[in-house]
Amino acid sequence: MNEKESRLNRKNEKFANNGWDTAQFDVQTWLERAPWRTLRDTEYGVKNNAPKPHPALWEDKLVSEIYKIDLATFLTAERISMSGISKLVSCAPDEASSVFLATQAADEARHFEIFSRRLADFDVGPEQRNEMMKKVTTPEMQKFYDLIAEQVDREDFAAAMLSHNIILEGMAYPVYRYESAYWSVFDPQLSAMIRGAFADEVHHVAYGEAIMRNYTAKGDKTRNTMSRLAKNFRMLMTEVFESTIDHYVGLYQLAADNYMDEIGDIQIFPSRKMRDVTEKEQVEILMREVNLECDKRLARIGLL
Protein backbone atom coordinates (compact mmCIF):
# COMPACT_ATOMS: atom_id res chain seq x y z
CA MET A 1 0.00 0.00 0.00
CA ASN A 2 1.51 3.37 -0.93
CA GLU A 3 1.46 6.40 1.34
CA LYS A 4 -1.42 8.06 -0.52
CA GLU A 5 -3.62 5.04 0.03
CA SER A 6 -2.68 4.71 3.67
CA ARG A 7 -3.09 8.35 4.76
CA LEU A 8 -5.76 9.90 2.54
CA ASN A 9 -9.25 8.67 3.07
CA ARG A 10 -10.79 8.68 -0.38
CA LYS A 11 -13.87 6.92 0.95
CA ASN A 12 -15.02 10.01 2.84
CA GLU A 13 -17.85 11.85 1.07
CA LYS A 14 -16.76 15.14 -0.51
CA PHE A 15 -20.28 16.41 -1.19
CA ALA A 16 -23.47 16.12 0.81
CA ASN A 17 -25.16 12.89 -0.24
CA ASN A 18 -28.90 13.12 -0.95
CA GLY A 19 -29.40 9.40 -1.24
CA TRP A 20 -28.54 8.87 -4.92
CA ASP A 21 -25.37 7.35 -6.34
CA THR A 22 -23.09 10.38 -6.74
CA ALA A 23 -19.77 8.58 -7.19
CA GLN A 24 -19.91 8.19 -10.97
CA PHE A 25 -20.86 11.77 -11.75
CA ASP A 26 -18.07 13.98 -10.43
CA VAL A 27 -15.46 16.00 -12.30
CA GLN A 28 -12.81 13.31 -11.75
CA THR A 29 -15.03 10.79 -13.55
CA TRP A 30 -15.62 13.31 -16.35
CA LEU A 31 -11.85 13.82 -16.75
CA GLU A 32 -11.25 10.09 -16.90
CA ARG A 33 -13.97 9.37 -19.43
CA ALA A 34 -13.92 12.38 -21.76
CA PRO A 35 -10.62 14.33 -21.98
CA TRP A 36 -8.36 11.43 -21.05
CA ARG A 37 -10.11 8.64 -22.91
CA THR A 38 -12.62 9.47 -25.64
CA LEU A 39 -10.97 12.76 -26.65
CA ARG A 40 -7.29 11.93 -26.23
CA ASP A 41 -5.21 12.37 -29.42
CA THR A 42 -8.19 13.72 -31.35
CA GLU A 43 -9.40 16.98 -32.82
CA TYR A 44 -13.12 17.33 -32.06
CA GLY A 45 -13.13 13.64 -31.22
CA VAL A 46 -11.66 12.61 -34.58
CA LYS A 47 -8.28 10.89 -34.88
CA ASN A 48 -5.88 12.42 -37.41
CA ASN A 49 -5.78 9.29 -39.55
CA ALA A 50 -9.59 9.02 -39.96
CA PRO A 51 -10.62 8.58 -43.63
CA LYS A 52 -11.62 11.79 -45.43
CA PRO A 53 -15.20 12.61 -46.46
CA HIS A 54 -16.66 11.28 -49.73
CA PRO A 55 -16.40 13.72 -52.70
CA ALA A 56 -20.22 13.56 -53.05
CA LEU A 57 -20.49 15.80 -49.97
CA TRP A 58 -19.09 18.61 -52.12
CA GLU A 59 -20.11 17.56 -55.59
CA ASP A 60 -23.62 16.11 -55.23
CA LYS A 61 -26.21 18.75 -54.35
CA LEU A 62 -28.71 16.29 -52.92
CA VAL A 63 -26.23 14.46 -50.66
CA SER A 64 -24.77 17.76 -49.52
CA GLU A 65 -28.26 19.02 -48.70
CA ILE A 66 -29.31 16.06 -46.55
CA TYR A 67 -25.90 16.11 -44.82
CA LYS A 68 -26.44 19.74 -43.83
CA ILE A 69 -30.07 19.15 -42.83
CA ASP A 70 -28.87 16.42 -40.44
CA LEU A 71 -26.15 18.59 -38.92
CA ALA A 72 -28.57 21.51 -38.50
CA THR A 73 -31.09 19.19 -36.83
CA PHE A 74 -28.48 17.84 -34.37
CA LEU A 75 -27.59 21.44 -33.60
CA THR A 76 -31.16 22.40 -32.70
CA ALA A 77 -31.16 19.70 -30.02
CA GLU A 78 -27.63 20.44 -28.80
CA ARG A 79 -28.47 24.14 -28.47
CA ILE A 80 -31.50 23.36 -26.31
CA SER A 81 -29.28 21.11 -24.16
CA MET A 82 -26.49 23.66 -23.83
CA SER A 83 -28.79 26.48 -22.76
CA GLY A 84 -31.12 24.38 -20.59
CA ILE A 85 -28.47 22.40 -18.73
CA SER A 86 -26.31 25.45 -18.00
CA LYS A 87 -29.35 27.15 -16.41
CA LEU A 88 -30.05 24.06 -14.32
CA VAL A 89 -26.59 24.19 -12.69
CA SER A 90 -27.90 27.00 -10.49
CA CYS A 91 -31.12 25.29 -9.39
CA ALA A 92 -29.85 21.76 -8.81
CA PRO A 93 -30.98 20.11 -5.56
CA ASP A 94 -27.52 19.25 -4.24
CA GLU A 95 -23.81 19.96 -4.72
CA ALA A 96 -23.10 16.70 -6.53
CA SER A 97 -25.82 17.54 -9.07
CA SER A 98 -24.51 21.08 -9.65
CA VAL A 99 -21.03 19.70 -10.27
CA PHE A 100 -22.31 16.99 -12.60
CA LEU A 101 -24.47 19.43 -14.58
CA ALA A 102 -21.50 21.77 -15.01
CA THR A 103 -19.63 18.90 -16.71
CA GLN A 104 -22.72 18.08 -18.79
CA ALA A 105 -23.02 21.74 -19.86
CA ALA A 106 -19.39 21.54 -21.04
CA ASP A 107 -20.22 18.35 -22.99
CA GLU A 108 -23.26 19.98 -24.63
CA ALA A 109 -21.25 23.08 -25.51
CA ARG A 110 -18.65 20.81 -27.10
CA HIS A 111 -21.33 18.97 -29.11
CA PHE A 112 -22.74 22.30 -30.27
CA GLU A 113 -19.27 23.45 -31.29
CA ILE A 114 -18.35 20.18 -33.04
CA PHE A 115 -21.39 20.22 -35.32
CA SER A 116 -21.10 23.98 -35.93
CA ARG A 117 -17.46 23.41 -36.85
CA ARG A 118 -18.50 20.72 -39.30
CA LEU A 119 -21.02 22.97 -41.03
CA ALA A 120 -18.38 25.71 -41.23
CA ASP A 121 -15.99 23.13 -42.75
CA PHE A 122 -18.58 22.79 -45.52
CA ASP A 123 -18.88 26.57 -45.96
CA VAL A 124 -22.03 27.10 -43.89
CA GLY A 125 -21.17 30.07 -41.67
CA PRO A 126 -22.89 31.06 -38.41
CA GLU A 127 -25.58 33.22 -40.00
CA GLN A 128 -26.56 30.69 -42.64
CA ARG A 129 -26.34 27.93 -40.03
CA ASN A 130 -28.85 29.70 -37.80
CA GLU A 131 -31.16 30.13 -40.79
CA MET A 132 -30.87 26.40 -41.53
CA MET A 133 -31.59 25.52 -37.92
CA LYS A 134 -34.76 27.60 -38.10
CA LYS A 135 -35.76 25.97 -41.36
CA VAL A 136 -35.32 22.38 -40.18
CA THR A 137 -37.31 22.99 -37.00
CA THR A 138 -40.79 21.76 -37.93
CA PRO A 139 -43.73 23.19 -35.92
CA GLU A 140 -43.98 19.81 -34.15
CA MET A 141 -40.29 19.95 -33.20
CA GLN A 142 -40.73 23.51 -31.95
CA LYS A 143 -43.61 22.38 -29.70
CA PHE A 144 -41.40 19.62 -28.31
CA TYR A 145 -38.48 21.99 -27.63
CA ASP A 146 -40.81 24.62 -26.12
CA LEU A 147 -42.19 22.13 -23.61
CA ILE A 148 -38.62 21.28 -22.53
CA ALA A 149 -37.63 24.95 -22.19
CA GLU A 150 -40.82 25.66 -20.22
CA GLN A 151 -39.78 23.21 -17.47
CA VAL A 152 -36.36 24.87 -17.19
CA ASP A 153 -37.86 28.37 -17.11
CA ARG A 154 -40.17 27.32 -14.26
CA GLU A 155 -37.03 26.12 -12.42
CA ASP A 156 -38.81 22.87 -11.68
CA PHE A 157 -35.71 20.71 -11.41
CA ALA A 158 -37.40 17.29 -11.49
CA ALA A 159 -39.57 18.18 -14.51
CA ALA A 160 -36.61 19.77 -16.30
CA MET A 161 -34.46 16.69 -15.70
CA LEU A 162 -37.20 14.40 -16.97
CA SER A 163 -37.43 16.59 -20.10
CA HIS A 164 -33.71 16.89 -20.73
CA ASN A 165 -31.89 13.84 -19.39
CA ILE A 166 -34.60 11.21 -19.84
CA ILE A 167 -36.68 12.29 -22.83
CA LEU A 168 -34.44 14.42 -25.09
CA GLU A 169 -31.12 12.74 -24.29
CA GLY A 170 -32.78 9.34 -24.35
CA MET A 171 -33.75 9.99 -27.99
CA ALA A 172 -30.06 10.42 -28.80
CA TYR A 173 -29.49 6.71 -28.10
CA PRO A 174 -31.28 5.33 -31.16
CA VAL A 175 -30.93 8.51 -33.24
CA TYR A 176 -27.17 8.98 -32.87
CA ARG A 177 -26.58 5.22 -33.21
CA TYR A 178 -28.53 5.30 -36.49
CA GLU A 179 -26.92 8.52 -37.75
CA SER A 180 -23.38 7.31 -37.10
CA ALA A 181 -24.14 4.21 -39.21
CA TYR A 182 -25.91 6.29 -41.88
CA TRP A 183 -22.91 8.57 -42.49
CA SER A 184 -20.23 5.91 -42.04
CA VAL A 185 -19.40 5.72 -45.78
CA PHE A 186 -20.01 9.35 -46.79
CA ASP A 187 -18.15 10.81 -43.81
CA PRO A 188 -16.41 8.46 -41.35
CA GLN A 189 -15.13 11.52 -39.46
CA LEU A 190 -18.68 12.70 -38.80
CA SER A 191 -19.55 9.16 -37.70
CA ALA A 192 -16.74 9.36 -35.13
CA MET A 193 -18.02 12.74 -33.89
CA ILE A 194 -21.54 11.36 -33.53
CA ARG A 195 -20.28 8.28 -31.67
CA GLY A 196 -18.39 10.58 -29.28
CA ALA A 197 -21.50 12.68 -28.60
CA PHE A 198 -23.52 9.47 -28.18
CA ALA A 199 -21.10 8.19 -25.50
CA ASP A 200 -21.59 11.46 -23.58
CA GLU A 201 -25.38 11.28 -23.88
CA VAL A 202 -25.32 7.76 -22.40
CA HIS A 203 -23.57 9.17 -19.34
CA HIS A 204 -26.04 12.08 -19.10
CA VAL A 205 -28.97 9.69 -19.21
CA ALA A 206 -27.35 7.57 -16.47
CA TYR A 207 -27.34 10.64 -14.21
CA GLY A 208 -30.94 11.44 -15.26
CA GLU A 209 -32.06 7.98 -14.15
CA ALA A 210 -30.15 8.13 -10.86
CA ILE A 211 -31.58 11.50 -9.85
CA MET A 212 -35.11 10.84 -11.13
CA ARG A 213 -35.44 7.66 -9.08
CA ASN A 214 -34.95 9.88 -6.05
CA TYR A 215 -37.98 11.95 -6.98
CA THR A 216 -40.33 9.19 -8.07
CA ALA A 217 -39.50 7.09 -5.00
CA LYS A 218 -41.28 9.70 -2.88
CA GLY A 219 -44.60 8.56 -4.36
CA ASP A 220 -46.17 12.00 -3.74
CA LYS A 221 -47.99 14.18 -6.25
CA THR A 222 -44.71 14.97 -8.04
CA ARG A 223 -44.90 11.45 -9.45
CA ASN A 224 -48.34 12.02 -11.03
CA THR A 225 -47.26 15.35 -12.53
CA MET A 226 -44.17 13.62 -13.95
CA SER A 227 -46.24 10.80 -15.40
CA ARG A 228 -48.51 13.28 -17.17
CA LEU A 229 -45.55 15.23 -18.52
CA ALA A 230 -43.90 12.02 -19.75
CA LYS A 231 -47.11 11.06 -21.61
CA ASN A 232 -47.23 14.48 -23.21
CA PHE A 233 -43.65 14.12 -24.41
CA ARG A 234 -44.31 10.64 -25.79
CA MET A 235 -47.10 12.05 -27.98
CA LEU A 236 -44.99 14.96 -29.15
CA MET A 237 -42.08 12.65 -30.01
CA THR A 238 -44.28 10.64 -32.35
CA GLU A 239 -45.49 13.85 -34.01
CA VAL A 240 -41.88 14.98 -34.47
CA PHE A 241 -40.99 11.76 -36.30
CA GLU A 242 -44.13 11.85 -38.42
CA SER A 243 -43.42 15.43 -39.48
CA THR A 244 -39.86 14.42 -40.41
CA ILE A 245 -41.20 11.63 -42.61
CA ASP A 246 -43.57 14.09 -44.31
CA HIS A 247 -40.93 16.75 -44.87
CA TYR A 248 -37.72 14.96 -45.69
CA VAL A 249 -37.96 11.27 -46.33
CA GLY A 250 -38.36 11.62 -50.12
CA LEU A 251 -35.21 13.70 -50.32
CA TYR A 252 -33.22 11.12 -48.33
CA GLN A 253 -34.47 8.29 -50.52
CA LEU A 254 -33.45 10.10 -53.71
CA ALA A 255 -29.98 10.83 -52.34
CA ALA A 256 -29.46 7.27 -51.09
CA ASP A 257 -30.68 5.60 -54.29
CA ASN A 258 -27.89 7.17 -56.34
CA TYR A 259 -25.18 5.65 -54.10
CA MET A 260 -26.68 2.30 -53.19
CA ASP A 261 -23.70 0.35 -54.56
CA GLU A 262 -21.46 2.19 -52.07
CA ILE A 263 -23.75 2.53 -49.04
CA GLY A 264 -26.03 -0.49 -49.56
CA ASP A 265 -23.96 -2.75 -47.29
CA ILE A 266 -24.12 -0.44 -44.26
CA GLN A 267 -25.74 -2.27 -41.33
CA ILE A 268 -28.23 0.47 -40.70
CA PHE A 269 -29.92 -1.61 -37.97
CA PRO A 270 -28.66 -4.87 -36.45
CA SER A 271 -28.77 -7.47 -39.26
CA ARG A 272 -30.57 -5.04 -41.62
CA LYS A 273 -28.65 -3.59 -44.55
CA MET A 274 -29.31 -0.15 -45.99
CA ARG A 275 -30.23 -1.57 -49.40
CA ASP A 276 -33.01 -3.69 -47.88
CA VAL A 277 -34.78 -0.95 -45.87
CA THR A 278 -36.41 2.10 -47.48
CA GLU A 279 -35.76 5.49 -45.91
CA LYS A 280 -39.41 5.64 -44.76
CA GLU A 281 -39.08 2.23 -43.07
CA GLN A 282 -35.82 3.41 -41.49
CA VAL A 283 -37.49 6.39 -39.84
CA GLU A 284 -40.40 4.18 -38.72
CA ILE A 285 -38.03 1.63 -37.16
CA LEU A 286 -36.15 4.46 -35.53
CA MET A 287 -39.38 5.89 -34.11
CA ARG A 288 -40.33 2.49 -32.69
CA GLU A 289 -36.85 2.17 -31.10
CA VAL A 290 -37.09 5.66 -29.60
CA ASN A 291 -40.49 4.89 -28.07
CA LEU A 292 -39.38 1.47 -26.79
CA GLU A 293 -36.22 2.82 -25.18
CA CYS A 294 -38.17 5.70 -23.68
CA ASP A 295 -40.72 3.33 -22.13
CA LYS A 296 -37.98 1.10 -20.73
CA ARG A 297 -36.37 4.14 -19.17
CA LEU A 298 -39.65 5.50 -17.77
CA ALA A 299 -40.31 2.08 -16.22
CA ARG A 300 -36.83 2.04 -14.68
CA ILE A 301 -37.41 5.39 -12.96
CA GLY A 302 -40.84 4.34 -11.77
CA LEU A 303 -43.00 6.41 -14.11
CA LEU A 304 -44.68 3.66 -16.12
Binding residues (CB under 5 A) for Fe ion: these are: 78, 81, 108, 111, 169, 201, 204
Shortest distance, CB of residue 233 to Fe ion, whole angstroms? Answer: 16
Non-local CB neighbours of 301 within 8 Å, separated by 6+ positions: 166, 209, 212, 213, 216
Nearest by Cα to 167 from 153, 181, 184, 151: 151
Shortest distance, CB of residue 149 to Fe ion, whole angstroms? Answer: 15
Within a 13 Å sphere around the CA of 19, how many CA atoms are in the beta-carbon half?
A: 8
User: Long-range contacts of range 104-108, CB-CB < 8 Å, 24 or more positions apart?
Assistant: 104/165, 104/204, 104/207, 106/30, 107/34, 107/200, 107/203, 107/204, 108/78, 108/81, 108/82
Shortest distance, CB of residue 56 to Fe ion, whole angstroms? Answer: 27
Shortest distance, CB of residue 198 to Fe ion, whole angstroms? Answer: 9
Shortest distance, CB of residue 213 to Fe ion, whole angstroms? Answer: 19
Of the pair 54, 204, the CB lying nearest Fe ion is at 204
How far apart are the C-alpha atoms of 139 and 161, rounded to whole Å? 23
Of the pair 81, 244, the CB lying nearest Fe ion is at 81
Of the pair 113, 262, the CB lying nearest Fe ion is at 113
Of the pair 22, 103, the CB lying nearest Fe ion is at 103
Of the pair 111, 297, the CB lying nearest Fe ion is at 111
